[in-house]
Amino acid sequence: MIQKAKGTYDVFGEYGKRLLYVEELIEGLMEKYNYEYFRTPIFESSNLFHRGVGETTDIVTKETYDFKDRGDRDLTLRPEGTASIVRSFIENKMYGNHTIPVKAWYYGPMFRYERPQSGRFREFYQFGVEVFGSEDPLADAEVISIPVNLYKLLGLKGIKVNINTLGDSESREMYRNALIKYFEPYINDLCEDCKERFNKNPLRILDCKVDTNKDIMKNAPKTIDYLNENSKRHFEMVKKYLDSMHIEYSVNTNLVRGLDYYTHTVFEVEASVEGFGSQNVLCGGGRYDNLVETLDGPKTNGVGFAMGVERLMTALDYENVSMPLINGIDCYIIPMSENEKDYAAHLCMELRLNGFITDIDYNNRNLKNNFKMADRLNSKFVIIIGEEEKNTNIITIKNNETKEEYKIKDEDLIDFLDENIGE
Ligand code: ATP
Ligand code: MG
């Protein structure tokens, strides 16, 4: 038997229903925020991610699915969404739009060759947004508000928003130097990856999962102490706007995030429920004022986040969050024999096209089994089509709950159901 590839999963049943509900909620929320839907290809030139995500990130050094196509091109299955959206923004010259800022949202699968464990897959879905062309701290606050409001709409309670700032390029440089000075004497106490990070991107040491609880980490210099006036003001304004939107947050001075391109604000939302597990970061993001330039576009501010959808689903299950899912169907149609199937199929289509959830017996079950089927499908009405019904166009419809039976002309069926099936 062929099994699914390691680190992947199938969607069906109740999970599928819950997932669709969440996806619809995301779509509706993005409409209210007036964001534009983007869909970019699943694979792109490998260069895009190497330059966009950064040569020293775990994602690029260890986790990408790289391949050559039959034309000998180097391609990569996208490990994240931001680099692709930036490419699209540049390639389609959106920086010239009159509608700057461009506010993009996306939803789709991402691929990373990671060690699969709970909350960590090799194919997983992200919902994310990117805002291009505004340096206003209000944009940062608005971006942070999106996951918070999505969780609120869903009824997810145990969440915690952590924010920090890396400052602008100047502040980040000063901070970087301070970190190098600080970590130099301890270099041999750090894990192998951190030794590498020390040379290439010392900020990333703070993001290490191995060394995270060591005192050297806890006592490391804080970005907050290296901010210039501009960076301080930006961070103060972000906090002020969050306050005015009634969004609770904590400042976590060790939060740096894994990607190279961040400036100013960085944030994460974690599931803060005891026992949730170690993969508890539901979403992360921040400002990246240098990324568009890095990918050969004109200097353009950017801010965004990406949310792991599987972890969100787990959190919803964990809190037993209920959803108003459709449970059952409106009509189940039973043709008494082969002879009535054509007429039954016609009625079935009519009902569906008029908005009623309708199913039909495809398997020539006997009447008793068909009624069992109607119960299993939790159908409100059962329509029985025999020879007489087909000839007279007067059909028998039974309320499956009250067991009341009605005879009505088929042309009146839609009106009948409209009256009898309340919202
Ligand atoms: P982590 O620290 O958990 O590895 P990350 O920093 O790699 O996360 P991002 O690249 O910022 O994560 O992705 C944003 C979100 O996508 C994460 O917060 C998480 O919810 C989700 N995510 C990342 N990697 C995976 C994965 N392999 N499987 C499922 N969800 C993931
Ligand atoms: Mg990761």
Mean pLDDT of the region 81-92: 96
- Summarised one tens digit per residue, pLDDT across range 202-213 is 888 887 877 677
Best residue among 49, 60, 279, 316 to mutate for probing ligand 1's pocket (most ligand atoms within 8 Å of CB) is: 279
Give the mutation target among 77, 120, 130, 314 for probing the ligand 1 site: most ligand atoms within 8 A of CB: 120
Of 415, 156, 389, the closest CA to residue 282 belongs to 156
pLDDT of 258 over the 70 cut: no
Atom of ligand 1 nearest to the CA of 119: 29
Q: Is residue 169 over pLDDT 90?
A: no
Residue 260 pLDDT class (50, 70, 90 cuts):
low
User: CA–CA separation, 136 vs 222, rounded Å?
Assistant: 24
- pLDDT value of residue 208: 80
Check pocket membership of 52 for ligand 1, CB cut-off 6 A. Answer: no
Which atom, in ligand 1's list, is nearest to the CA of 258? 6
Helix (H, G, I), strand (E, B) or coil at 382: strand
Residue of minimum CA distance from atom 19 in ligand 1 = 308
Residue 261: per-residue pLDDT? 74
Res. 423: pLDDT tops 70: no
Mean pLDDT to the nearest integer, 142-148:
98
Dump pLDDT digits (tens) for 38-64: 999 999 999 999 888 777 677 777 899
pLDDT number for residue 278:
78
Q: Counting every residue, how long is the chain?
A: 423
Which of 126, 255, 259 to probe ligand 1 with, by most ligand atoms within 8 A of CB? 126
**Ligand 1 pocket, 284 CB below 6 A?**
yes
258 lines ligand 1 (CB under 6 A): yes
Question: For the residues 272-287, what does the mean pLDDT come to?
Answer: 88
User: For ligand 1, what atom is nearest to the CA of residue 128?
Assistant: 14
Q: Using most ligand atoms within 8 A of CB, pick from 113, 281, 287, 291 the residue to mutate for ligand 1.
A: 281
Q: Could you tell me where in the chain the CATH 3.40.50.800 domains are found?
A: 329-420
Q: Does position 237 have pLDDT exceeding 90, yes or no?
A: yes
Looking at the chain, the whole-number percentage of residues with pLDDT higher than 90 is 77
Ligand 1 near 283 CB (within 6 A): yes
Instruction: Find out whether the beta carbon of 126 lies less than 6 Å from any atom of ligand 1.
Output: yes
Rounded-to-integer distance, Cα 307 and Cα 107, Å: 9
- Residue closest via CA to ligand 1's atom 24 equals 120
303 forms beta bridges with 131, 287
Homologous superfamily of 329-420: Anticodon-binding domain (3.40.50.800)
Lowest mean pLDDT among 194-198, 323-327, 369-373: 194-198
Span 388-403, pLDDT tens digits = 999 999 999 999 999 9
Cβ 60 under 6 angstroms from ligand 1: no
pLDDT at residue 299 in the model: 93
Predicted pLDDT at 121: 97
- CB of 281 closer than 6 angstroms to any ligand 1 atom: yes
Q: According to the model, what pLDDT value does residue 25 have?
A: 98
Using the atom order of ligand 1, give the atom closest to the CA of residue 268: 18
Q: Among all ligands shown, which has an atom nearest to the Cα of 82?
A: 1
For helices 309-318 and 13-32, what crossing angle results, to 10°?
Answer: 110
Look at residue 219 in the predicted model and tell me its pLDDT: 87
Give me ligand 2 centre to Cα 42, in Å: 19
pLDDT at residue 383 above 90? Answer: yes
Task: Check if 410 has its Cβ closer than 6 Å to any atom of ligand 1.
Answer: no
Residue 221 pLDDT exceeds 80: yes
Ligand nearest to the CA of 212: 1
Q: CATH 3.30.930.10: which residues of the chain?
A: 13-168+228-318
Residue 135 above 80 pLDDT?
Answer: yes
Question: In which element (H, E) is residue 77 found?
Answer: strand 74-77
The CATH number of the structural domain formed by 13-168+228-318 is 3.30.930.10
Residue 77 predicted with pLDDT over 70: yes
Position 234 pLDDT exceeds 70: yes
Cα–Cα nearest to 303, from 258, 263, 257 = 263
CB-side exposure of 29: number of CA atoms within 13 Å?
A: 23
- pTM of the full predicted structure? 0.92
CA of 220 from ligand 1 middle (Å) equals 24
Q: Which atom of ligand 1 has the smallest separation from the CA of 79?
A: 10
**Residue 76: predicted pLDDT:** 96
Q: What is the mean pLDDT of the chain?
A: 93
Instruction: Report whether 63 contacts 132 (CB < 8 A).
Output: no
The secondary structure of residue 120, as a DSSP letter, is B
Give the atom of ligand 1 at the shortest distance from the alpha carbon of 307.
15
Neighbours of 311 (CB within 10 A): 23
